[in-house]
Structure 1
Amino acid sequence: MDQDLCSTCRNNLCAKKVSIFSSLDDRDINNIVKLTGHKNYFKGDFLCHEGDLSSKLFIVNEGKVKLSKFNKDGKEQILRILSNGSFFGEFYLFSDNEPYNFSAIAISDVKICTLSKSDMDVLLKDHPEINQKILAEISRRLIQTENLVQNLSTNDTSSKVAYVLLKLSERYGRVENDQIHVEIPINREEMANYAGVTRETMSRKLSSFEQSGIIRTKGHKMIIIINKKALMDLI
């Protein structure tokens, strides 16, 4: 269940986190803050549903959000995991009332900032450099989606699981003593949904990778990648 926030941002930290606004000076950032809407969502809440008409840019201020698609049987396919400073809905800024082709779901309690399409239209007109950065981000995400689709099309479950581990390590990993410590933001069921495999297959492959010395698990929220090259060779 979402909750409206009565107060507006008291600082410009939210806008400064967002890559597309990085070239703006403090005055412009403050102007963006004045236009920004604010809302809290609890873990499990939907920020938007697939098919909803698009009307705003969403910015993740705190917490984590997953973008997912569901088939007619309710099977989930996770497309992307977003955290602090990430945004979504940018593609729809260039179209009129197009429905979202994904659902956005809070995977933790989150604080979300929003900018309406009409306000973004003004910002894009006044700051063409933002437009270029959004187009660059759209291009990057299209490439990521193509890579995900290519990985999902394979029948090799080892490749699917390795791909997800590497993608999570890019965003949530830190290097310590030539190993990558990945703080996993999602549970095993969601990891399976991201990889396009069953939960049982995900657990079995993680155990196999661990027995082979490729990774080491530390509870349910930490995976240590010992041999990154071995994972890359599986893809």
Structure 2
Amino acid sequence: MSKQMLTNYFSSYVDKKKEKSITACKHEYIAFEEHRTSSIYVLHRGILKLSTFLKDGKEFNIKLVAPGEIVTLLEDETTSIVSMPFTICSLSESAEIYLLDRLSFWQDVRSDVLLNEYVRLYYRKNLNIQIRKTCALTSNGKLSAVCNLLYELQNFFGKDSVNGRLIDLELSNEELGKFCGIHNASSFNRILRQLKDAKVIEVSSNKILICSLERLKNMGGSININF
């Protein structure tokens, strides 16, 4: 079954099984690391970020979550109440999250072939993202990390336009830098200028337009990992 069909199947499942929902406004923290919960979180509307706070107090962004996606499954399958592995924050004007009962969800995963395949797809995709990020940070440093981030963002939030691929997402350079381990906004800005000078990207109205995906991949070290 195709990824889109699995996604549609999962969406229908969530609509039937959701117990309740929670809403958040922009920059509102929904849950912090170690928050105890008995629910699986699925984003219905808006954009979320998952992050962790380092020992020096700086926030390191892990990933963005788009509508329809499971927020996190990084815990065991048999415990009714678990701790959140990451901090969850809304980056959109408003966000709505559906909550599913953890134990019921995992029971369904074990008995439903299509739901099981969707969960396997979820793990493969997230493992791919994190390996790509690690490779980017260790191969060509900050430039590679930024190129990899932009490539991932266009996968999830990109729209085709006449001049290239528009990342339809308004995030500050400071926020974007946190996904690359860059906490100095001027450092992130210098890399964006380097990409603009190379005519790889353009920036307009706080949105990034990728003029050439191929040149972006080349400048990022051509990192390509699939499962």
Q: Please give the residue correspondences for 1:86-165 in structure 2 after superposition, counting only pairs within 5 Å.
A: 86-92=69-75, 94-96=77-79, 97-108=81-92, 109-154=94-139, 156-165=141-150
1:173-227 Cα shifts (integer Å, max 9, x gaps): 122235111122422111110121221111111122112211111021x111112
Rounded to whole Å, the distance in 2 between the matches of 1:24 and 1:212 is: 41
Q: Is the 8 A contact 2:48 2:88 kept in 1?
A: yes
- Cα offset, 1:90, TM superposition: 2.4
Determine what percentage of the aligned residue pairs are the same residue.
Answer: 17
- Contact 1:174/1:180 (CA < 8 Å) preserved in 2? yes
Give the counterpart of 1:37 among 20, 26, 29: 20
Distance 2:11 2:153 in 1: 32
Q: 1:110 and 1:226 mapped to 2: Cα distance?
A: 30
C-alpha distance in 2 between matches for 1:182 and 1:29:
27
Q: Which runs of 5+ in 1 are unaligned?
A: 1-17
Which residue does the alignment assign to 2:179? Answer: 194
Whose RCO is larger (CA < 8 A, sep 6+)?
2
Aligned counterparts of 1:140 and 1:30: Cα–Cα separation in 2: 23
Alignment of 1:39-78 (within 5 A): 39-78=22-61
Q: Secondary structure at the match of 1:88?
A: coil
Q: How many residues align?
A: 214
Corresponding position: 1:22 with 2:5: no
CA separation in 1, counterparts of 2:78 and 2:30?
Answer: 20
1:106 aligned partner, one-letter code: S
Structure 1 residues 152 and 183, CA gap change in structure 2 (3 angstroms): same
SS in 1 for 2:50: strand
Which amino acid counterpart does residue 104 of structure 1 have in structure 2?
I
Unpaired segments ≥5 residues, structure 2: 221-227
Question: Shift of residue 36 of structure 1?
Answer: 2.5
Q: 1:127 to 1:185 in 2, by over 3 A?
A: farther
Per-residue Cα deviation, 1:10-40 (whole angstroms, up to 9, x for no partner)? xxxxxxxx975633797x66642xx421111
CA contact (8 A) 1:70 1:76 kept: yes
* Superposed displacement of residue 118, structure 1: 2.6
Q: Which digits, 9 at most, give the CA deviation of each residue in 1:68-100, with x for residues without a partner?
A: 111011212111111211122223252524422
Other-structure match for 2:153: 168
**Amino acid of the residue matched to residue 147 of structure 1?**
R
Partners of 1:25 and 1:146 lie apart in 2 by 27
Q: 1:166 to 1:24 in 2, by over 3 A?
A: closer
Contact 2:60–2:179 (CA<8 Å) still a contact in 1?
yes
Structure 2 contact 132–148 (Cα < 8 Å) conserved:
no
TM-score normalised by the chain length of structure 1: 0.81
1:208 and 2:194 matched: yes
Q: Which amino acid aligns with 2:55?
A: K
